[in-house]
Amino acid sequence: MKVLVVNAGSSSIKYQVFDMTDESVLAKGLVDRVGIPGTSLKHEPTGKDEVIIKKDLPDHTEGMKLVFEVLVNPEYGCIKSMDEIGAVGHRVVHGGEEFASSVVIDDHVKKVIKDCFDIAPLHNPPNLMGIEACQSLMPNVPHVVVFDTAFHQTMEAANYMYALPYDVYEKFRVRRYGFHGTSHFYVSHRAAEMLGKPYEDCKIITLHLGNGASMAAIKGGKVVDTSMGFTPLEGLVMGTRSGDIDPAIVFYLMDKLEMNSSEANSYFNKKSGMLGLSGVSNDLRDILAAAKTGNTRAQIALAVYYNKVKGYIGNYIAKLNGCDCLVFTAGVGENAADIRESVCSDLDYLGIKIDAEKNNVRGKEVDVAAADSKVRIFVIPTNEELVIARDTFQLATK
Ligand code: AMP
């Protein structure tokens, strides 16, 4: 069976086509600026040249129509007809408390996705638009949803409750959910294979360090804790998100900077983090380069970043009562050797020692720990699309 994986954002649609007989990728691509003038589609068929198509598209349905045309194009397509696609897998960010695993989409699932609009306003509405666009164009195949929050649903109340009046949890579901679950799931399973131990016997700390960043502590096959919370704003310092701060700063700055709640939301999500702190960029490559030339704010931003990650490593080793491995993944984790080295420096008391020479790698599955490190340190490129394709295939063939 061939499976189409779709990840629809507010103005973008990412897609991949998998042949599930060998899990190979037949093509992948991105439609950018959907609904904004200057829409473009970049299509990368495996083994053929990349194709770029520029055509303004008003909405996700028109975006998906163009994707379908490209997929069956005789020259650069990867299938003869859309009938070859046996199922579609969709990424959805928030599944609330109801879903701890992937599900076939029906009216109830769509209602749950809608019920979470309130708590994931940037993500769930476009995710649902992508689902509805695909369903209208492919009404006769199963559509499956894979939630970013699902893997973290194994967390216990000790780690998912905030110390707020209990009724805000009961009335408004204010609790910690965690995100990037599909990535933490994928890399932690690969890590168990690299450790050569059953997954259920492992204590794993995963570090998904990208523009958005989160960590997870996994024990006995379950997420014990994760750094993102009610929304993806909590936790580590990110490209443009503040991560953990004293909540009193929010109302203090709303007052001082005369911001309403939506302006404040944007301030802490889009203007803070490494961008706000360094004043250079949200991209760690630019910040590392600036720090090397003596830019003090870039140096401080990096010091804050490392400190926060180290703090979570200590926190999670305490909560797991030990650790078999750290796993670095996503844009920064997979590619930035100097960041991995700084994060792991001076942690030998916790049994963490990195080998600078082995660590000089990018985007490969490798153990970069020193021979005498008690904790293994893995670099594992994430593959969220493969998890979505596998879950979709499994549910569609059940
Ligand atoms: P992601 O969100 O996982 O796609 O990661 C994107 C981020 O990875 C970019 O914003 C960069 O900050 C970061 N990145 C990618 N390559 C490198 C690198 N070689 N060194 C440092 N950061 C990198």
DSSP 179-208: S-HHHHHHHHHHHHHHHTS-GGG-EEEEEE
Q: Model's pTM, two decimal places? A: 0.95
**CA distances (Å), origin 32, targets 56, 57, 58:** 10, 10, 12
Token pair recorded at residue 124: 């769930």
Q: How far, in Å, from the CA of 322 to the mean position of ligand 1?
A: 29
Q: Which fold has domain 2-147?
A: Nucleotidyltransferase; domain 5 (3.30.420)
**For residue 11, what pLDDT is reported?**
87
Token pair recorded at residue 52: 């770029």
Q: Which residues of the chain have pLDDT under 50?
A: none
| The CATH number of the domain covering residues in 197-384 | 3.30.420.40
Whether 148 is a known active-site residue: answer yes
**For residue 121, what pLDDT is reported?**
84
Asked whether 232 lines ligand 1 (CB < 6 A), one says no
pLDDT per position as a tens digit, 296-354: 999 999 999 999 999 999 999 999 999 999 999 999 999 999 999 999 999 999 999 99
Closest CA to 236 of 339, 139, 138, 309: 309
* Residue range(s) of every CATH 3.30.420.40 domain in the chain: 2-147, 197-384
**For residue 118, what pLDDT is reported?**
86
Instruction: Render 227-262 in DSSP notation, one character per residue.
Output: S--SSTTSSS--SS---S--THHHHHHHHHTT--HH
Q: How far, in Å, from the CA of 302 to the mean position of ligand 1?
A: 14
Neighbours of 37 (CB within 10 A): 6
pLDDT per position as a tens digit, 153-190: 999 999 999 999 999 999 999 999 999 999 999 999 99
Burial classification of residue 100, based on how many CB atoms lie within 10 Å of its CB (0-12 exposed, 13-18 middle, 19 or more buried): middle
Residue from 184, 207, 283, 309 to probe ligand 1 pocket by mutation (most atoms less than 8 Å from CB): 283
Q: How far, in Å, from the CA of 332 to the mean position of ligand 1?
A: 4
Closest CA to 231 of 303, 280, 176: 176
Give the dihedral of Cα atoms 313, 319, 320, 321; nearest 10 deg: 100
